[in-house]
């Protein structure tokens, strides 16, 4: 095999092969499913410019999710392509300095199998801190959970791209290949399949798996040899008080803290992430680099108390939210990020006075609230850090829904507008509303409403909303209340409006067609658009032939149509149907009748003009006479 290519690339490129796993090279007997990547790591076989790894231990403390994304640039990308091509030595088209889509797909097919053989380089051991020389609880890959994706291994529209469908035995019809010297950048990722829960596992940690967290410690180790440039994020399940106690980097057993950096990131829900940045100079090979960090639930000797800032809402501030009994986001992390400060992290711990109300923080820094049976809930909220240090000062806030929204005259669908009824809950005395239709990332034209103590029915425009389902976006503000931005699904649907098409008419001549010089074709032009704002496609049918070769610019179009088929069918006028179809299949059409150019009066007058005697050219009438005589002769012979 030429060079060195990462098992990560090798694996990541092996996920969706078009060749079958039993395809055999004609001259070697090798099988595509005969893969053994045991003993390799990503970096043993593949060099990347930069990589990000995210390793998340799941709640059972026995399974985990490993996500990886790596980038290979320019000259290294060419080396990767060349090394990958070398894997196919002995196969038709293999090891020939060209990398093909068939080779790419063949490698993808066995990617998960290859990765499952490899070392993850990650080990865990419960108990007192360790720095090697012990039996590690090694993390291993789970083949069924591995999902893979690569971008640009065989780049599109490469100037030297060529077909390989007829060059090699067993090549697919769509096979194409580019030189392995191509320097187009690559991107490769690995993740847990959507249908699976994890792609790595290890032996369950006895104490953490059983929930015995008091004064517990474990060490995570990673072999970072030949990891050229990477960021690794380790995220652990929530354990009260879990923190980073110590870390080190060792080169051949000697501490070298300049080789990388480790820091802890506390998440608002109380869980913790360890961020590690690491690099390795290839000139140091074969020096062994190991990273160790110790996690513990023992309380730190010193810890600061979180502090409120002046940005925190005052007591009795209204916190708007949907209160339908479900758990909803009451305050986003972005809104509350500057309400308090702490050297580590902080979150809100709220206790409600009313029955059924509760709250919790999530890892995204959002306060999730579940509403109870009452219209609103009053909560005393404290700020708490990861070690349960809490500020004695608490804030009292009122949670509830300021207004509800409905459709007074529900219909199956709406064309241009919809009536929305706003019903105040009297949580606030006055509410300024901006209500608009929304679809995907698009928010339509807003209707402004000043909502007092009585309901209000208002007309909401549907301009820019495509046919199909849409929702209602509400922005609300009121004195003493946090701003409220929320989307309501009221089961609304917009009716499709058929597209509109017109054909241009010459204002002087009154004609719609423009003939070419030889009268062999003519062009039509006009406008076509979708009132709903979608895209449209056009077609023209004439004498049984359909053309879609329209030149479109915004709403205008032009098409050129040949009359050859019509003339061969003996047609003397040309009937065209121009059809426009919108994105949901609704269509409109216009019919155009184009008379023969020879039917024009001026043309007839010119055709009857006798040529000058010395011109030497027969008249049109002479040609017609000859044709008539030949026709008569043929009829006589037929009789």
Hey, which residues does 633 pair with through a beta bridge? none
pLDDT computed for residue 86 by the predictor: 84
Please report where in the chains the tokens 């500057």 appear, as a residue: 338
Beta strands in 332-462 (DSSP E): 340-341, 347-352, 358-361, 367-370, 376-384, 395-400, 403-406, 417-424, 431-439, 442-443, 447-451, 456-461
Is residue 150 within 8 Å of 107, Cβ to Cβ? no
**327 conformational bin, left if phi > 0, alpha if psi -120 to 50, beta if neither:** beta
Whether the pLDDT of residue 500 is over 90: the answer is yes
CA atoms within 13 Å, Cβ hemisphere of 628: 6
The helix or strand, by DSSP H or E, that contains position 633, with its residue range, turns out to be: helix 620-638
In tens, the pLDDT along 287-317 reads: 999 999 999 998 888 888 999 999 999 999 9
* Average pLDDT for 26-40: 54
The single-letter DSSP state of residue 74 is H
Token pair in block for residue 447: 């209707």
Q: What is the DSSP letter of 15?
A: S
Rounded to whole angstroms, the Cα distance separating 210 from 188 reads 37
Cβ-in-10-Å burial (0-12, 13-18, 19+) of 623 comes to exposed
Angle at 124 between CA 118 and CA 129, to 5 degrees: 145
| pLDDT, tens digit (0-9, with 9 covering 90-100), for 152-168 | 999 988 999 999 988 99
CA distance 571 to 552: 29
Q: What is the pLDDT of residue 619?
A: 39
Q: How confident is the model at residue 15 (pLDDT cuts 50, 70, 90)?
A: very low
The reported pLDDT for the residue numbered 628 is: 40
Averaged over 108-115, what is the pLDDT?
A: 81
Residues of the chain above pLDDT 90, percent: 60
Give the number of residues written for the chain.
639
Mean pLDDT score across all residues of the chain? 85
For the cut 50, the answer to whether the pLDDT of residue 203 exceeds it is yes
pLDDT for the residue 92? 86
Mean local confidence (pLDDT), 444-466: 94
pLDDT band of residue 609 (cuts 50, 70, 90) is: very low
Contact 55/234 with Cβ under 8 angstroms?
A: yes
For residue 112, pLDDT over 60 is answered with yes
Residue 44's pLDDT is what? 66
pLDDT at 232: 96
Name the helix (H) or strand (E) containing 104: helix 101-109
């Amino acid at each position: 095999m030429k060079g060195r290519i990462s098992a990560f690339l090798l694996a990541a490129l092996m996920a969706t092969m078009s060749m079958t796993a039993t395809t055999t090279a004609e001259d070697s007997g090798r099988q595509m499913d005969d893969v053994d990547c045991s003993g390799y790591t990503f970096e043993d076989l593949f060099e990347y410019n930069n990589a990000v790894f995210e390793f998340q231990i799941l709640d059972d403390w026995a399974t985990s999710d490993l996500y990886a994304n790596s980038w290979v640039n320019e000259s290294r990308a060419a080396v990767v392509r060349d090394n990958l091509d070398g894997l196919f030595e002995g196969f038709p088209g293999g090891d020939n300095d060209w990398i093909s889509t068939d080779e790419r797909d063949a490698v993808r097919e066995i990617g998960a199998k290859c990765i499952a053989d490899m070392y993850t380089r990650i080990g865990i051991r419960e108990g007192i801190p360790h720095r090697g020389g012990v039996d590690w609880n090694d993390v291993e890959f789970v083949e069924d959970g591995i999902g893979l994706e690569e971008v640009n291994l065989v780049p599109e529209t490469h100037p030297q791209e060529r077909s390989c469908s007829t060059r090699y035995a067993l090549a697919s019809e769509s096979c194409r290949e580019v030189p392995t010297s191509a320097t187009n950048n690559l991107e490769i990722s690995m993740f847990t399949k959507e249908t699976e829960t994890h792609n790595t596992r290890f032996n369950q940690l006895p104490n953490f798996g059983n929930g015995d967290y008091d004064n517990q410690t474990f060490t995570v180790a990673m072999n970072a040899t030949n990891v050229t440039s990477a960021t690794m994020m380790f995220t652990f399940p929530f354990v009260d008080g879990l923190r980073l106690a110590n870390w080190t980097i060792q080169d051949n057993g000697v501490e070298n803290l300049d080789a990388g950096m480790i820091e802890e990131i506390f998440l608002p829900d109380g869980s913790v992430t360890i961020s590690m940045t690491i690099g390795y100079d290839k000139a140091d090979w074969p020096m062994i680099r190991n990273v160790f960090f110790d996690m513990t639930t023992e309380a730190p000797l010193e810890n600061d108390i979180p502090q409120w800032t002046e940005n925190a809402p005052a007591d009795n501030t209204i916190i708007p939210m949907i209160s339908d009994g479900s758990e909803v986001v009451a305050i986003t992390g972005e809104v509350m990020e500057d309400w308090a400060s702490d050297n580590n992290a902080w979150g809100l711990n709220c206790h409600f006075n009313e029955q059924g109300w509760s709250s919790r923080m999530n890892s995204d820094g959002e306060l999730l609230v579940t509403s109870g049976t009452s219209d609103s809930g009053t909560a005393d909220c404290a700020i708490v850090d990861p070690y349960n240090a809490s500020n004695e000062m608490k804030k009292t806030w009122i949670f509830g829904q300021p207004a509800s929204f409905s459709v007074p005259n529900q219909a199956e669908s709406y064309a241009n507008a919809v009536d929305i009824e706003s019903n105040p809950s009297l949580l606030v005395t006055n509410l300024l509303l901006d209500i608009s239709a929304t679809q995907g990332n698009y928010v339509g034209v807003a209707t402004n409403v000043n909502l007092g103590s009585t309901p209000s029915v208002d007309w909401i425009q549907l301009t820019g909303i495509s046919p199909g389902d849409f929702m209602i976006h509400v922005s609300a503000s009121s004195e003493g209340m946090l701003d409220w931005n929320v989307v309501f699904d009221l089961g609304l649907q917009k009716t499709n409006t058929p597209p509109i098409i017109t054909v241009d008419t010459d204002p002087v001549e009154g004609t719609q067609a423009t003939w070419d010089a030889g009268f062999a074709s003519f062009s039509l032009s006009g406008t076509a658009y979708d009132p709903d704002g979608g895209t449209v496609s056009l077609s023209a049918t004439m004498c049984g032939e359909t053309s879609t070769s329209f030149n479109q610019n915004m709403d205008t179009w032009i098409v050129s149509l040949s009359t050859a088929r019509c003339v061969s069918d003996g047609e003397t006028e040309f009937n065209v149907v121009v059809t426009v179809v919108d994105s949901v299949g609704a269509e409109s059409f216009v019919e155009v009748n184009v008379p023969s150019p020879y039917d024009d009066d001026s043309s007839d007058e010119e055709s009857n003009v006798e040529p000058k005697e010395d011109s030497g050219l027969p008249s049109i009438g002479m040609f017609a006479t000859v044709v008539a005589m030949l026709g008569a002769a043929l009829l006589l012979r037929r009789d």
